[in-house]
């Protein structure tokens, strides 16, 4: 056994008494045939030496890696974590290792991150980041689009999670969009709530620059409009796209109602489950009963929030499946396709 550092193929070949080429063919699949006996000897030697092929060297020699890059906004966010879980599963099925890089939600960092990713020469890359309106894949003054273009040119399959309303995928040739139908999902939710008897609404719109947030608001408003219900402009309140943002926005609404200048709608739609949870907390803090005094609906159906009380009405998104499909799409294993959410009505809007 070599002193230190890893065992190389040459070590194995020597011990097995065969050439480098034969050892390579025996160990790592090759179309060429090798005498069974040699294969055995090589495998035995590899085992004895605890040989593991150096993936980097293989990549250089083969000109292609076994890496799939996943770029997420924030891995601690359950939304992205669920997508990552699905992506890892699918990549694993394809024999690929996943590298995760995080933009931290900072669009300016995106180009830099993509540069690093490009250096990895991944077989495919999945972009699961919150896009900003009008930014396409280009943002923060830096040129993410160019980086993605380079990735594509270098032969990587790229797929980006996009919201309908998102021009991102269309902007860059070679990028496949896994579109999530936020628009119609939100519209369907609106319809379901109306049918449930709700007739006045407010919307916690999160960051209106985020395509996803924007699409959900648009869809919800349109869905209400189809039932003849209008949402006054001042009832759509922006905030951070987080739990605390939801809390703050709801506080704003409650304050306004308390001041008597405005009447609190019977139902509030938060563009995210997380934001909805924040809203519920705010409502409860005011001594009101969420789900009774004022209904709250979210979006995503984040698993971890299944036990919040009242149970959230929401639009279920098959997050893990989305991650899997994005990977399969990037690898060219699957055709483009949109993903629909499913309206789930629960206690938080039961009236």
Q: Which residues bind a second copy (CB under 8 A)?
A: 4-6, 50, 52-57, 59-60, 63, 65, 67, 74-76, 78, 81-82, 84-85, 88-89, 92, 97-102, 115-116, 118-121, 146, 150, 153-155, 243, 277-278, 280-281, 284, 302-309, 320
Which of 44, 47, 60, 289 touches DNA by CB under 7 A?
A: 60
| Residue with smaller CB distance to DNA, 11 or 74 | 11
Supply 80's token pair. Answer: 């992205």
d(CA 350, CA 119): 52
129: Cβ contacts below 8 Å, ≥ 6 apart: 71, 72, 73, 103, 105, 110, 161
* Least distance in angstroms from the C-beta of 42 to DNA: 9
How many residues sit close enough to DNA to count as binding (CB under 7 A)?
A: 32
User: If binding is defined by CB under 7 A, does position 243 make contact with DNA?
Assistant: no
Residue 140 — left, alpha, or beta (φ > 0 → left; ψ -120 to 50 → alpha)?
A: left
> How large is the greatest C-alpha to C-alpha distance in the chain, in angstroms?
90
- Rounded to 5°, angle at Cα 179 from 306 and 311: 15
| Residue with smaller CB distance to DNA, 30 or 232 | 30
d(CA 102, CA 116): 11
Could you say which of DNA, a second copy, none residue 30 binds, taking C-beta under 5 to 8 angstroms by partner kind?
DNA
User: If binding is defined by CB under 7 A, does position 154 make contact with DNA?
Assistant: no
d(CA 279, CA 248): 8
| Residue with smaller CB distance to a second copy, 218 or 300 | 300
| Residue with smaller CB distance to a second copy, 109 or 229 | 109
Are the beta carbons of 297 and 269 closer than 8 angstroms?
Answer: yes
User: What stretches of 204-292 show up as alpha helix (H) in DSSP?
Assistant: 211-225, 243-258, 273-285
* Least distance in angstroms from the C-beta of 226 to DNA: 55
* Least distance in angstroms from the C-beta of 60 to DNA: 4
* Least distance in angstroms from the C-beta of 4 to a second copy: 7
Write out the residues near DNA by the rule CB under 7 A: 5-6, 8-10, 17-22, 24-25, 27-28, 30, 32-38, 51, 53-54, 57-58, 60-63
């Amino acid at each position: 056994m070599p002193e230190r550092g890893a065992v190389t193929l040459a070590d194995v070949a020597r011990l097995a008494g065969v050439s480098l080429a034969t050892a390579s063919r025996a160990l790592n699949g090759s179309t060429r045939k090798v005498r069974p006996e040699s294969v055995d000897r090589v495998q035995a030697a590899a085992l004895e030496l605890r040989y593991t092929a150096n993936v980097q060297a293989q990549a250089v020699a083969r000109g292609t890696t076994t890496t799939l890059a996943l770029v997420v906004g924030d891995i601690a966010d359950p939304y992205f974590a669920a997508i990552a879980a699905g992506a890892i599963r699918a990549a694993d099925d394809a024999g690929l290792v996943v590298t995760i890089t995080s933009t931290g939600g900072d669009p300016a960092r995106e180009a830099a991150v993509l540069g690093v990713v490009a250096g990895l020469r991944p077989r495919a890359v999945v972009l699961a980041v919150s896009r900003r309106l009008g930014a396409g894949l280009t943002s923060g003054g830096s040129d993410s689009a160019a980086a993605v273009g380079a990735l594509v040119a270098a032969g990587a399959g790229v797929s980006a999670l996009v919201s309908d309303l998102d021009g991102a995928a269309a902007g860059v040739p070679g990028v496949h969009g896994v579109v999530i139908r936020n628009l119609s999902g939100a519209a369907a939710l609106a319809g379901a709530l109306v049918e449930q008897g709700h007739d006045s609404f407010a919307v916690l719109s999160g960051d209106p620059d985020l395509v996803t947030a924007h699409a959900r608001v648009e869809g919800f408003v349109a869905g209400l409009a189809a039932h003849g219900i209008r949402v006054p402009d001042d009832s759509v309140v922006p905030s951070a796209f987080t739990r605390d943002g939801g809390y703050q926005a709801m506080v704003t609404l409650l304050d306004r109602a308390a001041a008597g200048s405005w009447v609190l709608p019977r139902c509030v739609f938060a563009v995210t489950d997380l934001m909805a949870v924040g809203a519920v907390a705010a409502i409860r803090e005011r001594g009101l009963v969420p789900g009774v005094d004022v209904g709250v609906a979210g979006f995503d159906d984040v698993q971890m929030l299944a036990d919040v009380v009242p149970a959230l009405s929401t639009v279920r998104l098959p997050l893990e499946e989305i991650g899997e499909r994005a990977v399969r799409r990037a690898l060219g294993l699957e055709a483009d396709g949109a993903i629909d959410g499913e309206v789930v009505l629960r206690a938080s809007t039961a009236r």
